[in-house]
């Protein structure tokens, strides 16, 4: 029986992308295969649980949706066992991943959101990366990462593509995100689906 390494399990609203506002229980894994200098996500290990133990904790909340996030979930062994356990219990299950490696159990998820990281451009140039998702969200670490955004759009097939603002020391850099968005639209005015802005609603209204 697999043991999974977690930071926390909590209830909140999805704050980004197409499912913004959706009530969900977040299963946040510990650890990551990247080390983004601007990352503000707590991902130290605070608990180890089996799939059944995670299900018990998820059932403590009333949400019918579960979002598997991190850290980076795809570095966990036997992730498919957990997803199958949650699906068998009747939950809608989504994955949030940096996309460096495609999950072996991708077909089990109801929804996949991938957030490629510009600082690790070279890590996305091989066949291990994820190539298909429901949405792509790229943080505007700079308004000069137009090439990276276009490359990820070409390499990852998705229904929606979003630019998200970077947060540093409590400040949300919305103007930078908007500048990047406008540069992308100027270069690809008729691209469908169009690039959109994801404002990270959970940070705006001050929820977890």
pLDDT, position 38:
84
Percent of the chain with pLDDT over 70: 97
> What average pLDDT does range 17-37 have in this prediction?
94
Which three-class secondary structure state does DSSP give residue 120? helix
Instruction: For residue 7, give the nearest of 73, 61, 51 by alpha carbon.
Output: 73
The pLDDT tens digits for 37-83 are 888 777 778 899 999 999 999 999 999 999 999 999 999 999 999 99
The pLDDT tens digits for 73-103 are 999 999 999 999 999 999 999 999 999 999 9
> What average pLDDT does range 181-193 have in this prediction?
89
Residues 6+ apart with CB under 8 A from 9: 25, 26, 27, 28, 54, 57, 58
pLDDT, position 45:
81
Q: How far apart are CA 118 and CA 80, in angstroms?
A: 28
pLDDT, position 171:
87
pLDDT over 90 at 188, yes or no = no
The answer to whether 103 touches 74, Cβ cutoff 8 Å, is yes
Confidence of residue 205 (pLDDT cuts 50, 70, 90): low
Instruction: For residue 20, give the nearest of 207, 200, 208, 162 by alpha carbon.
Output: 200
Which three-class secondary structure state does DSSP give residue 66? strand
pLDDT over 70 at 208, yes or no = no
In order of 34, 47, 69, 79, 103, the CA distances from 95 in angstroms are 17, 20, 6, 11, 9
Residues 6+ apart with CB under 8 A from 176: 140, 142, 143, 165, 166
Instruction: For residue 91, give the nearest of 51, 131, 132 by alpha carbon.
Output: 51
With 0.85 as the threshold, say if the pTM is over it.
Answer: yes
């Amino acid at each position: 029986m697999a043991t999974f390494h977690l930071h926390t399990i909590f209830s909140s609203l999805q704050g980004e992308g197409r499912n913004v506002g959706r009530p969900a229980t977040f299963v946040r894994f510990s650890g990551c295969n990247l080390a983004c200098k601007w990352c503000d996500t707590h991902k130290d290990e605070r608990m180890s649980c089996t799939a059944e133990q995670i299900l018990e904790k998820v059932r403590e909340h009333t949400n019918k949706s579960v979002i598997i996030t991190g850290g980076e979930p795809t570095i966990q062994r036997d992730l498919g066992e957990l997803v199958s356990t949650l699906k068998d219990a009747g939950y809608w299950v989504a994955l949030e991943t940096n996309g460096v490696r495609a999950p072996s159990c991708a077909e089990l998820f109801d929804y996949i959101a991938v957030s490629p990281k510009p600082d690790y451009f070279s890590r996305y140039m091989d066949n291990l990366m994820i190539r298909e998702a429901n949405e792509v969200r790229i943080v505007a670490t700079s308004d000069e990462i137009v090439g990276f955004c276009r490359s990820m759009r070409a390499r990852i097939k998705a229904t929606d593509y979003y630019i998200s603002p970077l947060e540093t020391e409590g400040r949300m850099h919305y103007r930078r995100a908007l500048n990047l968005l406008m540069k992308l639209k100027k270069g690809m005015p008729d691209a469908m689906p169009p690039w959109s802005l994801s404002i990270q609603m959970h940070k705006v209204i001050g929820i977890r």
